[in-house]
Amino acid sequence: MLGWTITFFIIALIAGVLGFGGIAGAAAGIAQILFIVFLVLFALSLVASAISGRRPPVP
């Protein structure tokens, strides 16, 4: 999911440089939403692992 955020961020940067304001704004908005979703899922996974008490496997 973080990969999608970075992809939309790069699209927004390129579109902004080329002068496509609407496309840049839309891509930046999508990147922000995906980043927030990523952070929420990350926080939930941290809380769930803290509650369950399980440790990740050691490679």
Per-domain boundaries in the chain: 2-52
**Residues 9-39: tens digit of each pLDDT:** 788 788 777 777 677 778 778 878 888 888 8
Quote the pTM value: 0.58
Calpha distance 53→59 (Å, rounded): 19
pLDDT of residue 56: 67
Q: What is the DSSP letter of 54?
A: P
Q: What angle do the packed helices 2-18 and 21-52 form, to 10 degrees?
A: 160
Ranges of H-type helices in the chain: 2-18, 21-52
Calpha distance 52→45 (Å, rounded): 10
- Answer for the pair 8, 28: CB distance below 8 angstroms, yes or no: yes
pLDDT of residue 7: 80
Mean pLDDT of 4-10: 77
pLDDT of residue 13: 80
